[in-house]
Amino acid sequence: MQGYIIHINKVKDEDLIVSILTRDLLVDTYRFYGARHATINLGYKIDFEIQQSTRSNIAQLRGVIQLASKWYAQRDRMHIWQLFIPLFYKHLKGIDSIEPFYFDLLEECSEKWLLQNPKRVAIEAYIKLLGFEGRLHDDFTCFVCEQKIQENPAIVRGFLLGHEKCIYKNTFEAQAIQELFSHKSTLFFDDFDREKLWDIVLEGL
């Protein structure tokens, strides 16, 4: 199987519970310290096997091969990836069958991560995710007072829009938001605004 390591939890000694997102599963696996393994790290894409154990209801992680992308060695890009990827764990844990959309989205992000601004890739991926889940509220209605937003909207977690006076948050250019929502592009934001949008992404999917 192939998947992305989206969560690592240290248990006793140096053993780990490694949670891996595959195309249709979020699987928790147990990795014994000292077992011969390829290096694993949060965010890595790996090829792996699992072995069911009779003593435990958590499968053992076996036969790990790292499927590294070129940017894995670039500290900054990896750092941003390792902030982005755990959001998927929080969002998907506890769900038995996972739609391929999420794995495919990470594949797409990983491909773009080398050549594009990774924060930009992450913001655009977030909007795609909201669209996929039917959570993209693009009608410019304030989620607090439910009135139309005529001026530049403010944004909160989940990219919900509101009046500045209703939610007391930074505002963004209405047209740039429109472009982001309809074309999943951050092209019309400057770097300063992209940083603010990235902060909203980090609040959770």
Residue type, 35: A
Number of chain residues interacting with Zn ion (CB under 5 A): 5
Residue type, 158: G
Residue 166 found at the interface with Zn ion (CB under 5 A): yes
The stretch near Zn ion (CB under 5 A) out of 34-42, 119-127, 134-142, 181-189 is 134-142
- Report the residue from 142, 161, 197, 201 that binds Zn ion according to the rule CB under 5 A: 142
Residue 154 found at the interface with Zn ion (CB under 5 A): no
Question: Least distance (Å) from Zn ion to the CB of residue 133?
Answer: 24
Question: Least distance (Å) from Zn ion to the CB of residue 153?
Answer: 9
Three-class secondary structure assignment of the chain: CEEEEEEEEECCCCCEEEEEECCCCEEEEEECCCCCCCCCCCCCEEEEEEECCCCCCCEEEEEEEECCCHHHHCHHHHHHHHHHHHHHHHHHCCCCCCCHHHHHHHHHHHHHCCCCCHHHHHHHHHHHHHHHCCCCCCCCECCCCCCECCCCCEEEHHHEEECHHHHCCCECCHHHHHHHHHHCCCCCCCHHHHHHHHHHHHCCC
The stretch near Zn ion (CB under 5 A) out of 67-75, 113-121, 125-133, 141-149 is 141-149
The stretch near Zn ion (CB under 5 A) out of 101-109, 129-137, 159-167, 191-199 is 159-167
- Report the residue from 17, 58, 144, 174 that binds Zn ion according to the rule CB under 5 A: 144
Residue 161 found at the interface with Zn ion (CB under 5 A): no
Question: Least distance (Å) from Zn ion to the CB of residue 139?
Answer: 13
Beta carbon nearer to Zn ion, 148 or 183 = 148
The stretch near Zn ion (CB under 5 A) out of 12-20, 76-84, 132-140, 144-152 is 144-152
Q: CB–CB of 5/26 below 8 Å?
A: no
- Report the residue from 48, 77, 163, 193 that binds Zn ion according to the rule CB under 5 A: 163
Q: Estimate the crossing angle of helix 118-132 against helix 100-112, to 10 degrees.
A: 160
Query: Segment 40-99, which members bind Zn ion (CB under 5 A)?
Result: none
The contact set with Zn ion (CB under 5 A) reads: 142, 144-145, 163, 166
